[in-house]
Amino acid sequence: MGGEPELRRLVEEAVAVARGGVVAISSLSTERSRYATRSVAGTVTAELADGSFERIFVKTIDPGGGEDPDKLPRDREPRVYRRLLDHRQLPAAAFLAARTSAFSGVHYLALEHVDDWSLKYQELEHWYTAARRLAELHAHFAARVDDLRDCDFLLRLDQSYFAAWADRGVDAVERASTPLGRRLRQALRGHDEVAELLASQPPTLVHNDLAPKNVVAETSLRPARICFVDWELAGVGCGLLDLVHLMHGLPPDAEREMCSAYRDGLEGSDSPFADGAADHLLAACALQNTLYRLAHIGAWRVAGATVAGWVDEIERLSDGVRH
């Protein structure tokens, strides 16, 4: 997990923050995270000179963004933690340290170790807690929009952003299947409405990749402590994109509970979603999230039947936005 000297300097700094002062480290051991996919991440256990141990979550982010244009700048996630999430009341692991290697350009991020499973493996009650905490996070940053606009490392989820992903989705589907591409292009004739609707929503901090695997629920506490992780795609825009992404694939009754829990978390905020139903807005968010998936069918090697199902979904959601 990165160069040993660089890793040791990072962990020394992180342990000093966690322990409230410089502490001598006798040895380090590492264990790769069960959640790690693209980036290298894992738990570093530091044995201290006094015989005690400190566990730190460490993530290394390579300087290349691959083919995804949203992944630049590559130091976005460390900057999100340092600048925006270093607040103990927010649903995030505590930020401890970050470094960038002058030699390799690799970015290192050290966080509090949260010892539990992702939401993917948890009971639905913890999903509802996550929805409430997500709403609280969105309300927190909706009241601090000027701070977000000062963060040039965040993606701007505006009309041009949504239009660009629609174009990528169409291109990817047309390469895979001319008939499906034709259907998708037809379904997106009114996509300007979708982009305008999403871009006109009150802005807040958007995680922008809030799959269940990116939510850790510490279930030893009641209610569970929720930590949203993997902020590499974070941006400023419509917060409901996160909620719709998180509840994708849940049964209808669970989706309704998620929306209700999210509204509970918005109580006292100025969000228009707190006042009642907004089915057309939820449909617009779901449509845009589906376009993002379609844009990646080549890289993800998605089966043709799944692609066809997603195009069906776009057609249905397009009707939902218009009505």
Please indicate, yes or no, whether residues 76 and 19 belong to a single structural domain of this protein: yes
Q: What is the CATH number of the domain that holds 38?
A: 3.30.200.20
Q: Which of 112, 136, 157 is the last residue of a domain?
A: 112
pLDDT of residue 282: 96
CA distance 312 to 323: 17
Q: Which of 112, 134, 166 is the last residue of a domain?
A: 112
Sort strands 95-100 and 53-61 into parallel, antiparallel or unpaired.
Answer: unpaired
Q: State the pLDDT confidence band at 276, using cuts at 50, 70 and 90.
A: low
Helix (H) or strand (E) holding 4: helix 4-19
Please indicate, yes or no, whether residues 209 and 310 belong to a single structural domain of this protein: yes
Q: Which of 83, 112, 141 is the last residue of a domain?
A: 112
Indicate whether 2 pLDDT > 90. no
Instruction: Give me the percent of the chain exceeding a pLDDT of 70.
Output: 95
Domain that holds residue 233: 119-322
Model pTM score:
0.95
Please indicate, yes or no, whether residues 31 and 155 belong to a single structural domain of this protein: no
Total number of domains in the chain? 2
Question: Are 214 and 33 spatial neighbours (Cβ–Cβ below 8 Å)?
Answer: no
Please indicate, yes or no, whether residues 237 and 295 belong to a single structural domain of this protein: yes
What does the pLDDT look like over 277-309, one tens digit per residue? Answer: 689 999 999 999 999 999 999 999 999 999 999
Instruction: Give me the percent of the chain exceeding a pLDDT of 90.
Output: 84
What does the pLDDT look like over 180-223, one tens digit per residue? Answer: 999 999 999 999 999 999 999 999 999 999 999 999 999 999 99
pLDDT of residue 35: 55
CA distance 259 to 240: 10
pLDDT of residue 169: 98
pLDDT (mean) for 159-187: 98
Indicate whether 86 pLDDT > 90. no
**Cα distance between the two ends of the chain:** 51
Question: Are 207 and 214 spatial neighbours (Cβ–Cβ below 8 Å)?
Answer: yes
Please indicate, yes or no, whether residues 38 and 102 belong to a single structural domain of this protein: yes
pLDDT of residue 37: 54
CA distance 20 to 242: 35
Please indicate, yes or no, whether residues 245 and 164 belong to a single structural domain of this protein: yes
